[in-house]
Structure 1
Amino acid sequence: MPTLEKHVRSNAGLATELRFAVMRLRRRLARERHPDNDLSVSSMAVLYALNRHGDLTIGALAAREQVQPPSMTRTVTALAEAGLVERCAHPTDGRQVVVRMTDEGRAVVAADLTRRDRWLSRRLEDLSAEERDVLRRAAPILQRLAEAD
């Protein structure tokens, strides 16, 4: 077996190939952002988290995005100043704040998702049914990898 093929079949080789492919796909999807969207990647990640999981505390957002709470506080502050999120009192713990997405924040996420999903859907149409099936099965695995400690 050629050396390169043996390397790719090892975990280290697979890690290299996956890292390269995922990074390139992330960069390509970043280029598909809505043209009116000038938010940072961190800010968009917070909006996506709120869109997917609903209202979250700053601590929960920080843990989910793997950043320190002070960094998340700065991101949430910027999003609140832009009118994309609001801070609300925690229903049971007066020491905590819950972050909630506003209608404007939901509109930003919807426009961004629509544009990126449209691009990716067109690219998926170019693949065979078997290739799409492989990606369908790989998606939850990639999600688990992304969320692993």
Structure 2
Amino acid sequence: MSELSPDAKAAAVDSLRSTVMRLSRRLKHQRVDESLSPTEMSVLGTLARCGSATPGELARKEHVQPPSMTRIVALLEAKGLVRLEPHPDDRRQKVVSQTEEAEAMLAESRRKRNVWLAQLAEGLNEDDWTKLQAAAPVLEKLAQL
């Protein structure tokens, strides 16, 4: 297999960035609850993927400052989407967990976004589907780095 030139790699990265950003923006418009900010939705998604966490852990995972996460958690708690419980080992800290209402909202949001993506993908031919299936694990790997 031939090695890509630095220019070809740069062009591929630029194309990937642009494409992922456009698709992400379009997906963000497929929201179930318009009252939540994208950051609030992201925090709920992190709790769904990673489980309960302290506000400090959430701040690190979401790449925000701890005081900002404290405000976000307070807003989500006021909306009934998360609950705060005492930390099992450190009574000075709290653990944030999503509520059943948040789980249901996220499930509906995923369903709506999946339907939207499926409708978009209906226009793909078999070769495009094969490429998409091959690309999905690579994109997942990039998302985890």
In the alignment, what sits opposite 1:58? 55
2:43 partner SS:
helix
Deviations 1:81-104 (A, max 9, x none): 111101111112223211111111
Q: For residues 39 and 86 of structure 1, what CA distance do their matches in structure 2 show?
A: 16
Does the 8 A contact of 1:7 with 1:13 survive in 2? Answer: no
Unmatched segments (≥5 aa) in structure 2: none
| Range moving further from structure 2, 130-139 or 86-95 | 130-139
Query: Alignment identity in percent?
Result: 43
Q: Which digits, 9 at most, give the CA deviation of each residue in 1:65-84, with x for residues without a partner?
A: 11121111111111011111
Using the TM superposition, give the Cα deviation of residue 52 of structure 1 relative to its aligned residue in structure 2, in angstroms: 1.6
Per the alignment, residue 3 of structure 1 pairs with none
TM-score when scaled to structure 2? 0.86
Q: What are the ranges of 5 or more consecutive residues in structure 1 without an aligned counterpart?
A: 1-5
CA distance in 1 between counterparts of 2:123 and 2:7 reads 26
Aligned length: 142
Which position in structure 1 is the counterpart of 2:11?
13
Give the SS at the match of 1:56.
coil
| Conservation of the 8 A alpha-carbon contact between 1:46 and 1:61 | yes
- TM-score (norm. length: structure 1): 0.84
